[in-house]
Structure formats: structure tokens, C-alpha cells
Amino acid sequence: MAELPPFEHTPIDSIASTVNGIRASFLSHKTRPLEFRLAQLRKLYWGLSDNKDLIIEACKKDLGKPTFETYLTEVSWCMNDIVFMSKNVARFAKDESAQDIPLTNRLFAPKIRKDPLGTVLIIGAYNFPIQLSIGPLIGAIAAGCTAVLKPSESSPNAAAIMQKIIAESLDPSCYTVLQGAIPETTALLDQKWDKIFYTGSANVGTIIAKKAAETLTPVTLELGGRNPAIITKHADPKLAAKRLLWAKTLNAGQVCVSQNFTLVDKDMLPLFVEEMKNSLQEFYPQGARNSPDYGRIVNLRQFQRLKTMLDESRGKILLGGTMDESDLFIEPTVVQVDSLDDSLIAEESFGPLLPILPVADLDEAIKIANQVHDTPLGLYPFGTQKEMEKVLSQTRSGGASLNDGFFHASIPTLAFGGVGSSGQGAYRGKASFDVFTHRRSVTKTPGWIESQLDIRYPPYTLKKQQK
Ligand code: NAD
């Protein structure tokens, strides 16, 4: 098998000229024809397919990602998105006739063109390094933009394989990968962009948004969460435990949409914990540590951050709790906490820590959920249909899965995004095309209509005003 390419930082002094080149390609109109976009999408598909073993190896090196998870959430995820986009891009790109136009204005043939925004910067996060970078790129290509991709330096092997795939598959004058950390990203942000699409933490999202505001550059921000799960006393504890455990063990809990804390009706608590225990045993009969189906924390910094969170918690560990720094292993760990300012709730954990807070009833759960974060990225109620509808009608969140952990985020054609401080803008499915597209309103005034237009020209005679 071919070797993984090395990860190398892009020299900062080369960034401006590379970006200028990518912009010049956009201005040459090369990416406008649909045939060009479709050909690029096709090549990207085959680039991913041909390199899938290297992608799997890269994700294993970066995050200890199980092969099946990488295949499901990175490789086939992106390939399916490409197939969907390729099948539908002609339809998405078609002019739309304008809606609700007064009869007299229809003579001006009002319509909406779908124009590419231009040259875009895509900044990716480390946890799903391929999906979160290639996903937006698919939309940018489909919309007719040129693009620079800056993957996360925290998953360097995935970043390097993406660079190889894009360099070998796509038109290098239109799409490129630049590598680096803060200095390189800062240099990238100093360039002129027509859109910045950023996935990552809210802190960095704020830096990006401030910088973009200087030049009125539009941004899409896919940020983090502190997402609540709510278990009412009418929920099915077995189902809830299994589904929520899955949502916190996939990618070792490094998932922006997984629940950060679970509010459990106090009467349901013993059953729910018991079922968590059963599910954990079912998932990893030999323990998570020895399972090929459980990943690792991305790096020492994140490991130590999670360890500190757990050390500082005043909660009671009910399940798990073991860690091994040498292997960046953290066991799925269920902790019963007693207050909202517990370290496990006060910050986004982004790891396999599952704090549980007992609550008196659904009203208290809703109150607490709104208090912790009034606009989380995701929200996961378990209970009767009526209870779940009540949760939806009394909260806000980017998305929600009823009776499940983050399943909404896996529907390929359902727009995905945050709200408020969990993000702005959305992508996936048609939304991936729209997010890189300018809806350009166009009218055409026929020459023969001039006599009808006379009213608009000065002088505004009394006769005209009385018409
Ligand atoms: P991060 O914010 O640390 O890094 C994301 C990207 O920003 C990286 O490419 C990084 O190089 C760049 N970056 C970091 N510091 C920067 C700075 N000062 N200036 C400019 N660029 C900088 O995020 P992460 O650690 O990779 O990911 C974890 C966070 O991302 C979590 O909060 C998680 O919830 C969120 N996330 C959100 C989504 C989503 O779709 N909403 C998906 C994945 C992760």
C-alpha cells in the first residue's frame, strides 16, 4: 500500500500568491460551466475512492478511529454527498422564476440566477477531519466557486492525505489545500475572500467573524455545543441509554453534536444508569480499552483538558473513569453531578464524559437546558411524543433528534447548522450548494415597453401624478 504523505506547514510567504492564483482562476470564469463542476466532483469522488485505505490509516493514526467509523463517517459520507450533488447540481443551478410578482411586473421577466460567491476559504476541525473539510468543498465546487482548504493541524495525517487527494484529483489552479496552525491561518485570514466557511470552536469562530467583518466578508460558522439530552419519566430507559451511549462513544465522544449533559428524571435515574451499564458491556465486552471499535483522544492537550475536567468535577463516577495518557485513552465515563457549575457541565467536554444531572420533572429539565445554553447545536429529548414536542416548543437549538442522539446530523440531505452562539448558516444536501451561492435577482426591460415607462421619468407633471 502507498505510504501516507508527510504533513508540512505551508510557507507563510507563499500564501498570498497562492490565494491570488486561485482568485485569478475564479475571475477567468473557468469554474462557471456546469460540465467543469461535474467533472471536478467526479474526480474528487475517485480521488477519495482510490485513497480510502490511506484515509482509514490516517484517521487511525490521528484519532485511533475504528475502520468502520472512518468508512461510515468520512469516506462513504463524502462519496455519497458527491453522488447526491452530482445528480442534483443542474437542478440547483437553474434560474428560478421569481415568486409573488405583481402581474404588471411579469413583463420584466424577473428571475433569480444562481451565481457562485467567488473564492472561498474553508477551515476544518480535527474530529471528522475529512468530512468537515471535504463536505463544504463539495458545495463550493458545485456552486462554481474556487476554494482554499485549511484542514485542522490537530489531525495532521488526515490533512496530508486530503492535500494529496486534492492536488492529484482537482484542477490545481482552482482548488488547493494549505496547511498550518494559527500563524498560517492568520495569514490566510489576511487575504481577500468572498466567503469564509469555518468549523470549530466558538472562541476561534469569534476571531474569524471579527476579522471577516473588517472586509464585510460573509461567514458560515459551524461551532460547538453544550447540547442537552433530556430523559423524562416516560422514556424507554434501555433505548435512551443505548442511543446516548452510542452518541458519546462514536469517535470517543469527539463529536460536536453529541450530548454534553443528560438531565434525567430522578425516578428514572437508577434504571437509566443500569441500562447504561448494560449497553457499555454490550458495546465493549472486553472493555473499551481492548476494543478495536473505540477511538482515542486526538492529542495530549485535549487528553489533559478532559482529565482536568474530570478531576475537577465534584460528581460521583458511576461507570468508567480509567485513563491512560500513554495511549490517549479515556474510558466512557458516566458521572452523576449535582450542580450546573460542575466542571463537566460548565464547559463543552468534547470527549467520552457523560455527566448526568437528576431533575424533578420535565419543566425543571427544560429550565436547566435553557439556562446552560439557550442556543445549543443539538438537543435530544426522550419521552412521550407530547413531552418531546413540549421540549421543542420551549427551547431553541441548531437541530434536534427526538428519541435519539444526534441522528438528525446523519441525514445527508437535511441542512445542518447551529443557531445563535452554536453557529450561523447551514450546509449538506441542497444547503451545501446554497451556502456558496449568491441568489442574483435579474430583470429584463423590453424596448417596446418604453411608452408604459414614461411615467417614471421627470418632469413629474401633474398629469403623471394623477395617473
Ligand atoms: P478549533 O477552533 O481549535 O480549530 C478549528 C480550526 O481553526 C483549525 O483549522 C485551526 O487551525 C483553526 N484555528 C485555531 N486557532 C485559531 C486562531 N487563533 N486563529 C485562526 N484559526 C485558528 O476547533 P477544534 O479543536 O478543531 O474542534 C473542536 C471544536 O469544534 C468544538 O468546539 C466542536 O464542538 C466544534 N465543532 C463543530 C462542528 C460543527 O459542525 N458545528 C463540527 C466539529 C467540531
- The pLDDT assigned to 322 comes to 97
Q: Spell 261-294 as b/e; 16+ CB within 10 A means b.
A: bbbbbeebbebbbebbbebbeebbeeebeeeeeb
* 264 vs 344: CA distance, rounded Å: 15
Which residue carries 452510542 as its cell? 246
pLDDT tens-place string over residues 306-359: 999 999 999 999 999 999 999 999 999 999 999 999 999 999 999 999 999 999
Among 411, 291, 409, 396, smallest CA distance to 352 is for 291
- The pLDDT assigned to 437 comes to 98
Among 203, 230, 208, smallest CA distance to 218 is for 208
Protein residue whose Cα sits closest to atom 27 of ligand 1? 200
* Per-residue pLDDT tens listing for the chain (467 residues): 789 999 999 999 999 999 999 999 999 999 999 999 999 999 999 999 999 999 999 999 999 999 999 999 999 999 999 999 999 999 999 999 988 999 989 999 999 999 999 999 999 999 999 999 999 999 999 999 999 999 999 999 999 999 999 999 999 999 999 999 999 999 999 999 999 999 999 999 999 999 999 999 999 999 987 999 999 999 999 999 999 999 999 999 999 999 999 999 999 999 999 999 999 999 999 999 999 999 999 999 999 999 999 999 999 999 999 999 999 999 999 999 999 999 999 999 999 999 999 999 999 999 999 999 999 999 999 999 999 999 999 999 999 999 999 999 999 999 999 999 999 999 999 999 999 999 999 999 999 999 889 999 999 999 888 87
Q: Which ipTM value was assigned to this complex?
A: 0.96
Do the Cβ atoms of 198 and 222 come closer than 8 Å?
yes
Which residue carries 482529565 as its cell? 307
Among 358, 331, 321, 329, smallest CA distance to 342 is for 358
Among 265, 204, 143, smallest CA distance to 423 is for 204
- The pLDDT assigned to 225 comes to 76
Distances (CA, A) of 251 to 167, 229, 256, 332: 28, 19, 11, 11
Which residue carries 458560515 as its cell? 220
Q: Which grid coordinates are listed for 203?
A: 472562541
Active site positions, annotated:
222, 256
Among 232, 226, 224, smallest CA distance to 381 is for 232
Q: Which amino acid is at 87?
A: K
- The pLDDT assigned to 2 comes to 83
Protein residue whose Cα sits closest to atom 9 of ligand 1? 152
The residues with which 437 forms a beta bridge, in sequence order, are: 116
- Measure 210 CA to ligand 1 centroid, in angstroms: 15
Among 127, 121, 118, 186, smallest CA distance to 152 is for 127
Which atom of ligand 1 lies closest to the CA of 302? 25
Q: What angle do CA 321, 325, 329 make, to 5 degrees?
A: 55
* 204 CB near ligand 1 (under 6 Å): yes
Positions of E strands within 132-277 = 146-150, 175-177, 195-199, 219-222, 227-231, 259-265
Which atom of ligand 1 lies closest to the CA of 348? 32
- The pLDDT assigned to 361 comes to 97
Our mutation pick for probing the ligand 1 site, out of 12, 137, 201, counting the most ligand atoms within 8 A of Cβ, is 201
The residues with which 97 forms a beta bridge, in sequence order, are: 111
* 176 CB near ligand 1 (under 6 Å): no
Among 129, 199, 124, smallest CA distance to 157 is for 129
Predicted TM-score of the model (pTM): 0.96
- Measure 151 CA to ligand 1 centroid, in angstroms: 10
- The pLDDT assigned to 467 comes to 74
DSSP H or E run through 407: none
Q: Which grid coordinates are listed for 272?
A: 437509566
* 11 vs 17: CA distance, rounded Å: 11
